[in-house]
Structure 1
Amino acid sequence: MNALIFSLLLHMSVFSPPKSPEDFRWQKRIIVNYSSEGFDSEFLSNHRQEIRDRKLLLVHLVGKNLIWTNAEESLDVSGFMELKEKIRPTSTWALVGLDGGVKSQGGSELPMEELFRLIDSMPMRQSEMRKDNKQK
């Protein structure tokens, strides 16, 4: 019986279709980086818990190529390229909120600490933090 359940779970994970930004609505906030410079690996390694706490999906694309992501599932790169078409042509990164809307974008270096502060100021994040504090 356990082998059957394991087999079904394995089959579902291997054959699940790649996810687009829309598939993460109400589950993840998304930061997409379209520049060749990517995410600062030292910052990411020093802020793993903060990234999890903020429910962040990080995606680094260059052209139509997925360079890196912290996603556990496969991603539909074309969906993230469609997102690029919705932001300013000069923007090299975008922050997408839980509701699927673009909350911030820019053409300079990716300001992760500033984005953390912006996310923390959002009403839904404020609610999450209050809930987390009550559980402690």
Structure 2
Amino acid sequence: MIRILKATALAIFVAGGPFPAVAAGLDTFGWKNRVLIVFANPGNSDAAEQRRLLLEDRPALSERDMVIIEVNGDAVKPIFGAAGTVTAAELRKDAGIQEDTRFAAILIGKDGGIKLRADRPVAPDQLFGLIDSMPMRANEASR
């Protein structure tokens, strides 16, 4: 009985974490790209500000293997990089975002885990600082 409890506790510990891993919709990016998904209502000024902020430094986005996708209603629009064939419904489900969410920016790491959730535009230095602090990024930068 104790062995079963220990195995269950270990499984919960390993599966747990601050954010859940993402599912099938983003699998095409796994281990290749970091993905920032911007969810916004049509005409949302925060989405326009997020685009402006990030596209000012395209070389930094490329260097970090970034893909930026904007989801407005049912539309999926690639902002930087290729969006693949993901749908708005898949992205919302994977990121745990309601359809009526006014604005959300979600960073997905190369490992498929959610690394950041924001309800306001994310400054490039905050985003790049977070990415650069990740062990995988440190390994990439040292090559």
**Paired residue for 1:110, among 80, 103, 122?**
122
Compared CA separation, residues 86 and 62, structure 1 to 2 (3 A): closer
Give the 3-state SS of the residue equivalent to 2:142 in structure 1. helix
Give me the CA root mean square deviation: 2.5
Aligned length: 111
- Residue in structure 2 matched with residue 85 of structure 1 by the alignment: 96
- Residue in structure 2 matched with residue 122 of structure 1 by the alignment: 134
**Structure 1: which 5+ runs fail to align?**
1-18, 132-136
Query: CA–CA distance in 1 between the matches of 2:117 and 2:51?
Result: 17
Query: CA–CA distance in 2 between the matches of 1:110 and 1:73?
Result: 20
Compared CA separation, residues 99 and 90, structure 1 to 2 (3 A): farther
In the TM superposition, residue 97 of structure 1 has moved relative to its aligned partner by 0.5
Contact 2:35 2:108 in 1 (8 A): yes
Higher relative CO (CA 8 A, sep ≥ 6), structure 1 or 2? Answer: 2
**Structure 2: which 5+ runs fail to align?**
1-23
Structure-1-length-normalised TM-score: 0.70
- Residue in structure 1 matched with residue 57 of structure 2 by the alignment: 47
| Dislocated runs of 4+, deviation >6 Å | none
| Cα deviation 1:85-130 (Å, max 9, x = unaligned) | 269x787111110100001101122333201100001000001111
Contact 2:68 2:80 in 1 (8 A): yes
**Paired residue for 1:97, among 109, 118, 121?**
109
- Residue in structure 2 matched with residue 66 of structure 1 by the alignment: 76
In the TM superposition, residue 79 of structure 1 has moved relative to its aligned partner by 2.3
What is the percentage of aligned positions where both structures have the same residue? 22
Q: One-letter code of the match for 2:85?
A: L
